[in-house]
Amino acid sequence: MTVTVTPFLRNALYLDAVVSGAAAVLMAGGAGLLSPLLGLPQPLLLWAGLVLFPFVAMLVFAARRERIAHLLMIDIVALNALWVAASFGMLIAGLVEPNLLGIAFVVAQALAVTAFAVLQVASLRAAGAQGA
């Protein structure tokens, strides 16, 4: 089953790619500077940034198509949901001990990712309602 990449979905995917790409560059490239500022471990910031690069490529790949596999969209939404769960999970479980700015950083990026997932799910539902 495939999904038509509507202008709404295309914009949601590109917006996710731009924000995720900026976060990737910021975290991977600036891990050394961000770590003491946020109270987050430098390796966490570095690797979190690095894993975003292939995700951004997948988002751009999907956004540039006319139709994509429904499972690819499910994967994108699931990866966003996992990112949010991991972000809040590491705070709640005490796996990291960021300062107040670090907590705000983690929460803000998790809420932004939640918004992308919601937009993408809404696009999937709209496509399903159109019989795509």
pTM over 0.85: yes
Q: What radius of gyration, in Å, describes the C-alpha atoms of the chain?
A: 16
Angle, to 10 degrees, between the axis of helix 7-29 and the axis of helix 100-129?
160
For residues 130 and 46, give the distance between their C-alpha atoms in angstroms, rounded to a whole number.
Answer: 41
**For residue 1, what pLDDT band results from cuts at 50, 70 and 90?**
confident
In the predicted model, is pLDDT for residue 132 greater than 50?
no
For residue range 48-75, list pLDDT tens digits in order: 999 999 999 999 999 999 999 999 999 9
Mean residue pLDDT across the chain: 94
**For residue 130, what pLDDT band results from cuts at 50, 70 and 90?**
low
Domain ranges of the chain: 2-129
For residue range 79-111, list pLDDT tens digits in order: 999 999 999 999 999 999 999 999 999 999 999
Q: Which residues contact 76 (CB under 8 A, 6 or more apart)?
A: 13, 16, 58, 59, 62, 120
